[in-house]
Amino acid sequence: MFLELFQGLMIPAIIMNVLNATAFMNRVTCPSMLVKAVIYCFITSLMSVTTGIILCLVIPLDGGMPGESVVSHPIDIIYSMANNMCRRRVIGLFIGTVKFDLSMTEMIIDGNVTNSTSSMIVVKKNFNFNVLGLIALCFVYGVVMRKYDDKVRAQRPADRFPYLRSFSRITESIMFYTHVFIMPVAVVCFAVKMLADTHDWSLMLNLAKFIGIIICGLLAHGVILLPLLYLITVWKNPLPLIEHFYDDVLCSTLQCNTSTTTLELCLELCRDAGIDQDVSRLILPIGHKVNLNGTALYEAMAVIFVARLQNVTLDPLQLAVLGLMVVMVSIGVGGLHSRGAIVTVFVLKAFGLQYDNLIGLLAFVEILLYPLCEAVNAAGNCFGAAIIHYGNYPEQNTPDGSPIIA
């Protein structure tokens, strides 16, 4: 019940999040810079998800948990995703999800099994929180607003919908205090109760391995892959930027759990590094909404971890669909607290995996590793601003003559 209530509180926050991001893209005066930002976000998201999938597949797990999970076929998952984003009724985009299962049965004639098979599509409708439908509706509405005149287009969504803005602020405040004060206690109690009921110490060992491999994945992506991409793209030494970005960002995420404060700090760090402010003011807000490398890495690893605990093997096509779904769902929940738990539950439902006994442990891991995930998210956006800055200004200095760090 607590999880369903928390999902309901996220609805207005997701609406404002997607509308603000879409409206911000509509106001961009440099389309080429926006294209570079989108390409960078796609490449880094693909890198983070791939890193998480590879590391989680190679980790050895001891034993498993009994479950009745039957993983859906990738075609069924893709068809269900498309149907959930395009519904006849608008209300279905909020509270209704549809899942398609293609079942193959052998034909029996006179007691003999023939070689022919018959297929049947089973449609399952559930009254669950439809994250993909909500994101798609808000994105389409934001794009349609571009057709209006300049006066209406220049307004922010918060100015056009004052009641929604007020309600969104109230829900964000409730989510913040829930995330800081209530959820840690609830998650710890749930995890302790689960461990006391199962008496399975192998689960604790697997959880410790899972936490360790997530930390390794975040460090590999944030300290190795992102600087390597920076080195290959601009052919500059990334070590000064690593020290400049991670030192302050990691301290900020450890001291406070507000991503807005992290965004302001990233703008200040990019300005101190000599990155052009026009570039940083474009890249960082967009990346703050859609480029969540650390969060996407954790979500992909969490789904594979649950599948492996239930002795379910995902084929390469299912892993590719998993990466696509994680990236798509992460777009609408950027900047929101406890977004990893909501996205993980949605992906687990789409794949048909049982999560009732593990959601508390996954939420505990998310709260524990939230500062490191947020630091990787922020550093990825800062590196993106530096890469696009060098793409626009190949010289060592910015147009106003200020030196850049690297």
Note whether residue 344 is domain-resident.
Answer: yes
Note whether residue 124 is domain-resident.
Answer: no
| All residues at 6 or more sequence positions from 402 whose CB lies less than 8 Å from its CB, including other chains | 274
Note whether residue 154 is domain-resident.
Answer: no
Q: In whole angstroms, what is the distance from residue 145 CA to residue 152 CA?
A: 8
Residues 306 and 353: beta-carbon distance below 8 Å = yes
- 109 membership: H or E segment, kind and range: strand 97-109
Position 322 scores a pLDDT of: 80
Nearest CA to 382 out of 290, 265, 302, 289 is that of 265
Domain of 265, CATH number, reads 1.10.3860.10
For the chain, how long is the longest CA-to-CA vector?
87
Q: In whole angstroms, what is the distance from residue 72 CA to residue 102 CA?
A: 9
Position 270 scores a pLDDT of: 80
Can you say whether the dihedral through the CA atoms of 337, 342, 344, 347 is positive or negative?
Answer: negative
Please give the distance of CA 169 from its chain centroid, rounded to a whole number.
21
The total of structural domains in the chain comes to: 1
Nearest CA to 296 out of 380, 175, 212, 360 is that of 380
pTM attached to this predicted model: 0.72
Q: In whole angstroms, what is the distance from residue 119 CA to residue 109 CA?
A: 16
Position 368 scores a pLDDT of: 78
Q: What is the mean pLDDT of each run of 10 residues along the chain (406 residues)?
A: 58 64 58 78 87 85 56 56 57 51 48 49 52 66 61 51 60 63 66 65 80 89 88 84 75 60 77 78 76 82 84 79 76 59 71 70 78 83 84 53 48
Note whether residue 53 is domain-resident.
Answer: yes
Q: Per-residue pLDDT tens for 366-385? A: 777 877 888 888 888 888 88
Note whether residue 247 is domain-resident.
Answer: yes
Q: In whole angstroms, what is the distance from residue 326 CA to residue 37 CA?
A: 19
Position 358 scores a pLDDT of: 72
Note whether residue 111 is domain-resident.
Answer: no
Note whether residue 225 is domain-resident.
Answer: yes
Note whether residue 108 is domain-resident.
Answer: no
Strands 112-126 and 97-109: antiparallel
3-state helix, strand, coil in the chain (%, to 5): 70, 5, 20
Domain that holds residue 302: 2-14+30-65+175-392
DSSP bridge partners of 103: 120
- 148 membership: H or E segment, kind and range: none
